[in-house]
């Protein structure tokens, strides 16, 4: 075999193994979710932000995508050990302050700096381990696959997929020093399948339908009819409901809009088609025990758009009154993937 042929063979083999590695991290993300070390403490560090100027890779000038208008985005990177695995996000103070749950059982917080309405930088970044009731890192007891985050006025609920557990923190009072307190939840959550369990949570403000309810959803825990399992915890009408599964999409997060809609973020992946993302909208008044919700598709994206493993969704109202959707991607601590923060205006 010639030298050129050998080089070609090596390149093809390398690409094949790279694709297999990427598939494994998408299909089996638990491989990337290793617990932090016991001696990890809160740290301040720098996050580098690279602008994302266009969302549609085929038409860089396009800004409107159905009811969504692309405001801008940034690709995040850092030399700080442990940065990555961004799974859930909540924004405060008009979108200038954020808290993120990393899937290795860590808090990440900081500020978003804007140029007009475009996010351009992250400042004041800090990271610390979530703490268990005994004050030690939550991950040391094996509770580190922290995939979902919900906020009730400073009381944070965190969903842990690996063990299908929900804990709450008085983050508003204690910040990084807050300790996890397990809550009561439907026993069916414990029966969700490994690595396809508790993935999305959002808390409904008390001025909206289902006010005071913690809504939890599985990634791909299915009922007998093939619908994704959902749970209404607390609130005026607790119980179980279903979300119609459409295609090969799995649920990764959820959020509630100020006008009373439930938004559901979904993700798909295959080696043939690449990565996909979808956002569905369902009026909260349609969500109740025993029903199967479907909703309308706001937008669906494939590899022709600037997306990755989209896992986090948040809604906030900007200072100018816009309702803003923020999406983040989980890079699985894989150099072939990206940690993206993208923002859209929801027009209607």
pLDDT in tens, 59-92: 999 999 999 999 999 999 999 999 999 999 999 9
Judge whether residue 151 has pLDDT over 80.
yes
Q: What is the pLDDT of residues 196-228, one digit of tens each?
A: 999 999 999 999 999 999 999 999 999 999 999
Q: Which residue(s) pair with 106 in the sheet?
A: 102, 129
Residue 163, token pair as written in the block:
């063990």
Q: Tell me, what's the pLDDT at 273?
A: 86
Under 8 Å between Cβ of 331 and 311:
no
Distance, in Å, from the CA atom of 191 to the CA atom of 158, rounded to the nearest integer, reads 18
Please state, for a pLDDT cut of 70, what percent of the chain lies above it: 89
In which element (H, E) is residue 301 found?
Answer: strand 296-301
Residue 11 has pLDDT above 50, yes or no: no
Domain boundaries, the chain: 3-346
pLDDT at 40: 55
**Per-residue pLDDT tens over the stretch 36-55:** 443 457 999 999 999 999 99
State the pTM of this model: 0.89
Residue 10 host element (H or E): helix 3-27
Contact 88, 73 (CB under 8 A): no
Least confident piece of the model among 21-25, 95-99, 326-330:
21-25
C-beta atoms surrounding 290 within 10 Å: 9
3-346 CATH, one of 1.20.120, 2.115.10, 1.10.3470, 1.10.287: 2.115.10
Taking only the tens place, the pLDDT of each residue in 287-306 is: 999 999 999 999 999 999 99
Cα(168)–Cα(147) distance, integer angstroms: 14
Query: What is the model's pLDDT at position 271?
Result: 85
Which pLDDT band holds residue 10 (cuts at 50, 70, 90)? very low
């Amino acid at each position: 075999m010639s030298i050129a042929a050998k080089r070609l063979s090596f390149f093809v083999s390398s690409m094949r193994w790279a694709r297999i590695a990427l598939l494994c991290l998408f299909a089996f993300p638990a491989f990337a979710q290793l617990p932090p070390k016991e001696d990890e403490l809160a740290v301040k560090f720098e996050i580098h932000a690279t602008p994302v100027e266009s969302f549609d890779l085929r038409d860089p000038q396009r800004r409107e995508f159905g009811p969504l208008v692309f405001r801008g985005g940034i690709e995040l990177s850092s030399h700080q050990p442990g940065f990555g695995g961004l799974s859930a996000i909540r924004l405060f103070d008009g979108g200038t302050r954020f808290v993120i749950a990393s899937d290795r059982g860590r808090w990440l917080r900081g500020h978003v700096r804007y140029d007009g309405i475009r996010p351009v930088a992250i400042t004041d970044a800090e990271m610390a381990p979530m703490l268990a009731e005994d004050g030690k890192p939550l991950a040391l007891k094996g509770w580190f696959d922290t995939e979902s985050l919900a906020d009730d006025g400073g009381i944070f609920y965190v969903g842990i997929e690996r063990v299908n557990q929900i804990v709450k923190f008085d983050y508003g009072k204690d910040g990084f020093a807050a300790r996890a307190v397990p809550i009561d939840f439907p026993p069916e959550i414990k029966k969700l399948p490994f690595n396809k369990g508790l993935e999305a949570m959002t808390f409904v403000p008390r001025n909206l339908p289902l006010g005071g309810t913690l809504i939890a959803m599985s990634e791909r825990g299915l009922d007998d009819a093939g619908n994704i399992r959902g749970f209404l915890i607390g609130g005026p009408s607790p119980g179980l409901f279903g979300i119609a599964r459409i295609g090969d999409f799995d649920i990764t997060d959820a959020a509630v809009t100020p006008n009373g809609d439930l938004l559901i973020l979904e993700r798909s992946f295959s080696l043939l088609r690449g990565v996909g993302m979808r956002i569905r909208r369902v009026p909260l008044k349609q969500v109740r025990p025993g029903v199967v919700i479907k909703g309308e598709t706001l937008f669906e994206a494939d590899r022709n758009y600037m997306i990755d493993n989209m896992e986090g969704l948040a809604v906030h109202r900007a200072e100018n009154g816009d309702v803003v959707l923020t999406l983040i991607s989980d890079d699985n601590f894989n150099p072939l993937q990206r940690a993206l923060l993208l923002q859209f205006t929801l027009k209607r």
